[in-house]
Amino acid sequence: MTTHNYEDFESYFFADSRQFSFEVAEKFELFWQNNELGYDKNGKLIRTNKPRKKPKPDFDYRNKKNKHKKIWNT
């Protein structure tokens, strides 16, 4: 049977979550550095020569149609 020491749970939790967020950010950047995927004439999945277009970081998909409306009721 395994026993756990929960004294430093918060420090371990925050260290793990911080590391996880760094890894996600790194993989996100690597994803956008690759070219787009496409299909050849035989239907086989290939990597094209077209670079991926990274979305703007401040773009809000929820508010695309309502550019001048407020999101929050304040």
User: Which amino acid belongs to residue 1?
Assistant: M
pLDDT tens figures, 8-65 = 666 666 667 778 888 888 998 999 999 999 999 999 999 999 999 887 766 555 656 6
Instruction: Please name the residue that has the structure tokens 């690597």.
Output: 30
Contacts of 19-26 with CB under 8 Å at 24 or more apart are: none
pTM: 0.50
Residue 10 covered by a domain: no
Residue 48 covered by a domain: yes
Residue 39 covered by a domain: yes
Report how far residue 49's alpha carbon sits from residue 36's, in angstroms, rounded to the nearest whole number: 7
* Domain span holding position 43: 18-53
Residue 31 covered by a domain: yes
Count up the domains in the chain and report the number.
1
Under DSSP, is residue 7 helix (H, G, I), strand (E, B) or coil?
coil
Residue 43 covered by a domain: yes
Q: At 48, phi and psi to the nearest 5?
A: -85, 180
